[in-house]
Amino acid sequence: MPLLPTADPYLPGHGDPTYAVRHYDLDLGYVPDGNRLDGTAVLDIVVREQTARLVLDLAHLRATKLRLDSGRPAPRVKKWSARDHRLVLQLDRPVAAGTELRLTVAYGGSPRPVIDRYHGDAGWEELEDGVIVAAQPHGAPTWFPCNDRPDDKATYRITVSAPAGYVVVANGALVARQRRAGGESWTWAMDRPMATYLATVQIGRYATTEHDPRTRTIAPPDADLAGSFDQQPAMLEFFERVFGPYPFDAYAAVVTDDDLEIPLESQSLSTFGRNFCSPDWEQVRLIAHELAHQWYGNAVTLRRWQDIWLHEGFACYAEWLWSEESGGPRSCDAWARHHHERLAGLDQDLLLADPGPELMFDDRVYKRGALTLHALRVAVGDDAFFAVLSDWVATRAGESVTTDDFLGFASERTGADVGVLLRPWLYDAALPGFPQP
């Protein structure tokens, strides 16, 4: 059997580089009792390299009907098959680069997370009474057929119907809410480019607290948001001062009735467990962390998973900044010193700019990534440093980037050779000394 493509070596068996998806239109129905998901996905595709085959990612769910429209003359699907969490479409003739196609896939089944040897489980997950989708990095195929590559950003329209009594939340703005037999359908639209792993659906018995016109918490009605999620408007206002304008229209934190070990960012919202309803710094820092990902990770997204420090280092640095701003346990510089000391006592076997798939979410990526930014700040001064952070988002929002892109950008903005300055932090395993002015 012919080998199926891998778009990113950190995610073997995901993604097809021969095409890109411009827009996903998902229309899904979900029945929590029995965990049944059925629906239709319409993908607007642009072919990037001539090909007679399209490979999509779809895990645990069964496609029942496929149709290909547009293109001139429109190619036909000669045959298609499902294997290894992929849908493989053979076309009746090669299609040229630049060809636009519309693919409709009807599918359904009992969705559940995918598990791989590097990243554990991710994707559509049943809760005690509801659903979360926590897809980073490899869980998107558990709920829709997609081209699962971090660099293939698309716009989305997501409609999900669920029984009465449930609230359905997805990315972007709620554009329609309609009664359907036995329940309601909710349509959400994300009109800014979004990576597949950042697409999400959250279903639960929730009430919405609007902190201000841009900031909401969607949580069980009895959740106590004081001192934790009610801090989000102040966080957002502070991050806008240091990172520039919030890159989406609004932001929501979804708090599930279940406790969750780790929260997760999606585009324009994040997901937390009820255990994060606490004013303790260990919880509050992660509320700030997930919000900061809207700038670093969601608006500006890595092109390759090896550059994950461009997300996690920045979001971790945002925690330290928020600690200083909000009168938290330490100043930013004190957090940097604290974690430098801790890292110095750990194994020095991680390359920050290429940690390998097994270590990409290692805590050292977060802390050393934040220290790398601190080193830049100490070298160029506060004004230049914060100008780099905000201009980076202002100029690259909606795009996919690499570490070299950031180094080149920061060098150009500051006049310093940032590549040379940060090389030991990024490309040497040994921990550099604490940054000195």
Which residue has the closest beta carbon to Zn ion? 315
Nearer to Zn ion, 147 or 228 (CB): 228
CB 306 within 8 A of CB 355: yes
Nearer to Zn ion, 40 or 294 (CB): 294
DSSP of 338-386, one letter per residue?
Answer: HHHHHHHTS-----TT---GGGTT-HHHHHHHHHHHHHHHHHH-HHHHH
- Judged by CB under 5 A, the chain residues 91 through 130 that form the site for Zn ion are none
Nearer to Zn ion, 43 or 370 (CB): 370
Minimum distance, C-beta of residue 312 to Zn ion, in the bound complex (Å): 5
**Count of CB atoms within 10 A of residue 52's CB?**
14
Binding-residue pattern over the window 267 to 306 for Zn ion, x denoting contact by CB under 5 A: ----------------------------------------
Question: What is the phi-psi region of residue 291: left when phi exceeds 0, alpha when psi lies from -120 to 50, beta otherwise?
Answer: alpha
- Judged by CB under 5 A, the chain residues 301 through 330 that form the site for Zn ion are 312, 315
**Total residues binding Zn ion (CB under 5 A):** 2
Type and span of the H or E element at 157: strand 154-163
Nearer to Zn ion, 160 or 315 (CB): 315
Minimum distance, C-beta of residue 315 to Zn ion, in the bound complex (Å): 4
Nearer to Zn ion, 162 or 401 (CB): 401
CA angle 157, 163, 287 (to 5 degrees): 60
Minimum distance, C-beta of residue 355 to Zn ion, in the bound complex (Å): 14
CB 155 within 8 A of CB 23: yes
Nearer to Zn ion, 219 or 318 (CB): 318
Alpha-carbon distance of 272 to 276, in angstroms, equals: 6
Minimum distance, C-beta of residue 202 to Zn ion, in the bound complex (Å): 18
Binding-residue pattern over the window 329 to 368 for Zn ion, x denoting contact by CB under 5 A: ----------------------------------------
Type and span of the H or E element at 323: helix 309-325
Residue type, 352: L
> Which chain residues interact with Zn ion by CB under 5 A?
312, 315
